[in-house]
Structure 1
Amino acid sequence: MLVKDIMKTDVITLTANATVEEALHLLQKNHIRHIPIINESNHVIGIISDRDVRDASPSFLEEHNNRGGILTRTIKEIMSTPVVTTHPYEFFEEVASIFYQKEFACLPVVRDKQLVGIVTEKDMLYAFIQLTGTHSPSTQLEIKVPDQIGGVLSDVCQYFTKRNIKIVSVYSYPDPPKDVVYKILVFRIQTMNPMPVVKDFQNTDYQILYPYWEDNHEF
């Protein structure tokens, strides 16, 4: 999944000479938390958030004894710059890493130096829901398998094929605590009764971690 598939293209922007009052109005009216700041060439030169406005207010109050003094200040005095951006053809996974490492809440999307969109934490979460298939009626299975090259995924998938069960999504994660010998395959399958295929795995070398077998008395 690419950034262009999840970004918003109707981006609300301001110029650096706009006032704090204008920013507050747009933030509240549109129920958003961030506004990219652009120049006359539509280049991103800064970004402002609702937090920036709140954090800046105490320092402004030291110089101004009235709220009007704060609101008439220009955005360029409190905006964050330089701005980290992403590209519409960047992979979702790469951008997710940036969000995590930098603790960002949004990223402007730029192509040929032009602002073309914005992606937020909410957009990233929605993309994750789409990728994992949790948005559709389905059941999740977690299967512990050997972490080896070739054969394992196709072998596991054949059990779903035999039951004529559609696989909505599949991904993997390391077996805690960081066991290099095994990994966990997470399947989301299109059935509300997974027990027949779960029991099929009972006589294999693969271990079903979820859902548990009733015979094992593990609930």
Structure 2
Amino acid sequence: MLVKDIMKTDVVTITPDTSVSDTLQLLQKHSIRHIPVINQDQHVIGIVSDRDVRDASPSILDDEIKKEVLSRSIQDIMSTPVITTHPYDFFEEVAYTFYQKEFACLPVVKNHQLVGMITEKDMLYAFIQLTGTHSPNTQLEIKVSDQIGVLSDVCQYFTKRNIKIISVYSYPDTAAPNYKVLVFRIQTMNPMPVVKDFQQSEYQILYPYREDQDEI
């Protein structure tokens, strides 16, 4: 999945000379938390968050100070330089950037011009789509050895039962470095036949979990 598939293209923007007051109104009007600052060439030169505006906002007890601060241009408080991403960057790579840098959003730039915006919420929704949790299905978690061909071998069990695989991903088994866990979402109302197939195989079913497994 690419950034272009999940980014928002209808982006609210401001210019460096936009006032703090006008920026605050835009944030509230559009129920957003970040606004990119662009110049006349559509180049991203800064970004401002609702927190930046709140921190810059004066006490409501002093009207003179309030007017002075709210009339300041946003370039006085915007964050710069801005890290951006590209429409054809992979979702997974951008997700790592979000995690590593603790970002809440990233402007999307093509040919040095702003073309979109991607937020934490967009990333979470993309993860939901990739894992298939947005549609009715059944989840199976299977512990397998970390070796070539194991995914193909496991998939044969679903093929034999004529079961459609909605999504599949894996994560390492921290307790056993030479193993990993395959997470399948499959389209079936009754997973027990294929679960029993796996129970009779070399693979270990971790989910659905049965309490009597510990007794076997």
Contact preservation (8 Å) 2:57, 2:70: no
**Separation of aligned partners in 2, 1:180 and 1:214:** 25
Q: 1:133, CA displacement in angstroms?
A: 0.3
- The DSSP-based 3-state class of the residue aligned with 2:46 is strand
Which residue in 2 is equivalent to 1:87? 86
Q: Is 1:175 the equivalent of 2:170?
A: no
After TM superposition, the structure 1 = structure 2 runs for residues 11-160 of structure 1, keeping only pairs within 5 Å, are: 11-57=11-57, 65-149=64-148, 151-160=149-158
Q: 1:69, CA displacement in angstroms?
A: 1.9
Which residue in 2 is equivalent to 1:201? 198
Once the two structures are superposed, residues 29-88 of structure 1 have per-residue CA deviations (whole angstroms, 9 ceiling, x without a partner) of: 001000000000000000000011112236x89x98532222111100000000000000
Please, which moves more after superposition, 116-125 or 191-200? 191-200
**Separation of aligned partners in 1, 2:155 and 2:9:** 38
**Separation of aligned partners in 2, 1:147 and 1:153:** 9
Once the two structures are superposed, residues 142-198 of structure 1 have per-residue CA deviations (whole angstroms, 9 ceiling, x without a partner) of: 00000012x211111111111111000000000023x32100000001112211110
Please, which moves more after superposition, 203-212 or 188-197? 188-197
Which residue in 2 is equivalent to 1:191? 188
**Letter paired with 1:204:** S
**CA 1:32–1:140 in structure 2 vs 1: closer, same or farther (change >3 Å)?**
same
Contact preservation (8 Å) 2:47, 2:80: yes
- The DSSP-based 3-state class of the residue aligned with 2:147 is coil
Q: 1:213, CA displacement in angstroms?
A: 3.8
Which residue in 1 is equivalent to 2:160? 162
Please, which moves more after superposition, 196-205 or 78-87? 196-205
Give the number of aligned pairs. Answer: 214
- The DSSP-based 3-state class of the residue aligned with 2:116 is strand
**Separation of aligned partners in 1, 2:30 and 2:21:** 14
Which residue in 2 is equivalent to 1:3? 3
- The DSSP-based 3-state class of the residue aligned with 1:141 is strand
Q: Mind listing any 5+ residue stretches in structure 2 that lack a counterpart?
A: none
Once the two structures are superposed, residues 79-104 of structure 1 have per-residue CA deviations (whole angstroms, 9 ceiling, x without a partner) of: 00000000000000000000000000
- The CA RMSD measured in Å over matched residues stands at 1.8
| Identity within the alignment, % | 74
Contact preservation (8 Å) 1:199, 1:213: no
**Separation of aligned partners in 1, 2:159 and 2:211:** 23
- The DSSP-based 3-state class of the residue aligned with 2:177 is strand
Contact preservation (8 Å) 1:138, 1:190: yes
After TM superposition, the score normalised by the length of structure 2 is 0.94
**Separation of aligned partners in 1, 2:97 and 2:173:** 24
- The DSSP-based 3-state class of the residue aligned with 1:25 is helix
Q: Mind listing any 5+ residue stretches in structure 1 that lack a counterpart?
A: none
- The DSSP-based 3-state class of the residue aligned with 2:7 is coil
